[in-house]
Amino acid sequence: MKLLAKTNRIYLAFSLVVYLLTALAFYQIVRLLIYDEVENRLRVERRDFDAYVRAHNTWSTIPYFVENKIDVVPVGRPEPFREVFTDTLIRNRYDDELIPFRQLTFYQPIQGRMHRVEIRKSLIQTYRLIEVITVTMILFLGLLLLGTFWFQGKLSGQLWHPFYDTLSRIKRFDLSSDTSLELDKPEITEFNELNDVLQKMAAKMQQDYRSLKEFTENASHEMQTPLALINAKVEQLIQTEQLSETQTQWIETIYQASRRISRLNQGLLLLAKIENRQFSDSQSIDLSNLLAEKLTDMEEVLLFKHLSVQVQTTAPFDVQLPGALADSLVTNLISNAIRHNQPKGRIELTSNADQLCLSNTGGHLSSDPERLFERFKKESTGPDSVGLGLAIVRQICDSYGLRIAYQETAGIHQFCITRSDEYH
User: Worst-scoring range by mean pLDDT, 14-18, 236-240, 398-402?
Assistant: 236-240
Non-local CB neighbours of 395 within 8 Å, separated by 6+ positions: 271, 274, 275
Residue 291: closest CA among 336, 322, 334: 334
How high is the mean pLDDT of the chain?
A: 80
Of 212 and 383, more confident:
212
Non-local CB neighbours of 338 within 8 Å, separated by 6+ positions: 298, 301, 302, 305, 307, 347, 360
Q: Is the pLDDT of residue 380 over 60?
A: no
d(CA 341, CA 306): 10
**pLDDT, position 64:** 47
pLDDT tens digits along 163-187 = 888 888 888 887 777 788 888 888 8
Q: What is the mean pLDDT of residues 140-169?
A: 80
Of 412 and 134, more confident:
412
Query: 190-274 — its CATH code?
Result: 1.20.58
Q: What is the mean pLDDT of residues 285-299?
A: 89
**pLDDT, position 416:** 92
User: Worst-scoring range by mean pLDDT, 300-314, 361-375, 376-390?
Assistant: 376-390
- What letter would DSSP give residue 390? H
Q: How confident is the model at residue 65 (pLDDT cuts 50, 70, 90)?
A: very low
d(CA 270, CA 216): 9
Strand locations in 345-411, DSSP E?
346-351, 355-361, 402-409
Enumerate the domain spans of the chain.
Answer: 3-156, 190-274, 281-423
Residue 360 has φ and ψ, to the nearest 5°, of: -150, 150
**Residue 240 DSSP SS3:** coil
- Cα 403 to chain center, whole Å? 21
**pLDDT, position 63:** 46
Residue 373 CB neighbour total at 10 angstroms:
20
User: Worst-scoring range by mean pLDDT, 130-139, 223-232, 325-334?
Assistant: 223-232
- Listing DSSP states for 297-359 in one string gives HTHHHHHHHT-EEEEEESS--EEEEEHHHHHHHHHHHHHHHHHT--TT-EEEEEE-SSEEEEE
Q: Which bin fits 30, alpha (ψ -120 to 50), beta or left (φ > 0)?
A: alpha
Give the CATH architecture of domain 281-423: 2-Layer Sandwich (3.30)
d(CA 339, CA 352): 26
